[in-house]
Amino acid sequence: MTACTKISAGSKSCYAERLALRLQAMGNHRYRQGFRITLHEDVIDLPRTWKRSRRVFVNSMSDLFHRDVPLWLIRRVFQTMKECPQHTFQMLTKRSDRVQQLSAKLPWPPNVWMGVSVEDSRVLHRIDDLRGVPAAVRFLSCEPLIGSLAGIDLRGIHWVIVGGESGPHSRPMQIEWVREIFRACRKQKVPFFFKQWGGVRKDLTGRELRGRTYDEMPRQKAA
């Protein structure tokens, strides 16, 4: 599927919306509707055709757990992931309540990683929802990080990604917000991945923290 709807402050400057409208203007047939929810059943089985193993970001331009995505389609996606153990599938959602609601109705093979977006303290409840999902790897995407997450509880979480907002009208990320999460990851022994400082020119701000880059990944697919 393509497109989504904004659900919290982290969606304000959604990159997928900007890109979808650009692709629509370029005549891409999958974006004829612009940034309106559109299902693309024909690509669900595409991973079965790939000969080499891949790490796949599922629905990078949408949210599989959007309320307008029917359960039968979500089940089809999960069945494909289950039957393609050679690939690793990463999913990210802001709709943690629906993931928790549907989790018992879905298969959770070890090659499926489930994450939630946590951009500030107003959405910390998403972490609690994620803890109840039986994914092999549960991760947080603190991107765009637009507020403090001091005291964040990482029980049951296997990986944390942090990044600043980029593109036009991007909101600044304070270094202390990043340090708070970094210290929590070190204290609770959770791998930490720092993606970018962001800004209008993210290529200039880079991705170094404490004089180095952090590209840590989950050490194992915990049950």
Is 217 exposed, middle or buried (CB count within 10 Å of its CB: 0-12, 13-18, 19+)?
exposed
**Pair 37, 66: CB distance under 8 Å:** yes
User: Which residue from 198, 91, 103 is spatially nearest to 146, judged by alpha carbons?
Assistant: 198
Decide: pTM greater than 0.85: yes
Question: pLDDT digit of tens for each residue in the chain (223 aa)?
Answer: 565 676 777 665 666 666 656 766 777 767 666 666 677 788 899 999 999 999 999 987 789 999 999 999 999 999 999 999 999 999 999 999 999 999 999 999 999 999 999 999 999 999 999 999 999 999 999 999 999 999 999 999 999 999 999 988 899 999 999 999 999 999 999 999 999 999 989 999 999 999 999 999 997 554 3
Residue 89 lies in a domain: yes
DSSP state at residue 220:
S
User: Which residue from 127, 115, 116 is spatially nearest to 151, judged by alpha carbons?
Assistant: 127
Residue 103 lies in a domain: yes
Beginning with the edge strand found earlier in the chain, give each strand of the sheet holding 159-163 in spatial order.
55-57, 88-93, 112-117, 137-142, 159-163, 192-196
Assigned token pair, 130: 């994620």
Residue 112 lies in a domain: yes
Residue 164 lies in a domain: yes
Residue 125 lies in a domain: yes
Residue 220 lies in a domain: no
Provide the CA 217 distance to its chain's centre, in angstroms: 14
Q: What is the CATH number of the domain that holds 78?
A: 3.80.30
Q: What residue numbers bound the domain in which 108 lies?
A: 53-205
pLDDT of res. 223? 39
Residue 46 lies in a domain: no
Residue 213 lies in a domain: no
**Pair 146, 118: CB distance under 8 Å:** no
**Pair 161, 193: CB distance under 8 Å:** yes
End-to-end, the C-alpha distance of the chain in Å comes to 29
**Pair 74, 106: CB distance under 8 Å:** yes
Total number of domains in the chain = 1
CA dihedral 136, 11, 152, 158 (to 10 degrees): 20
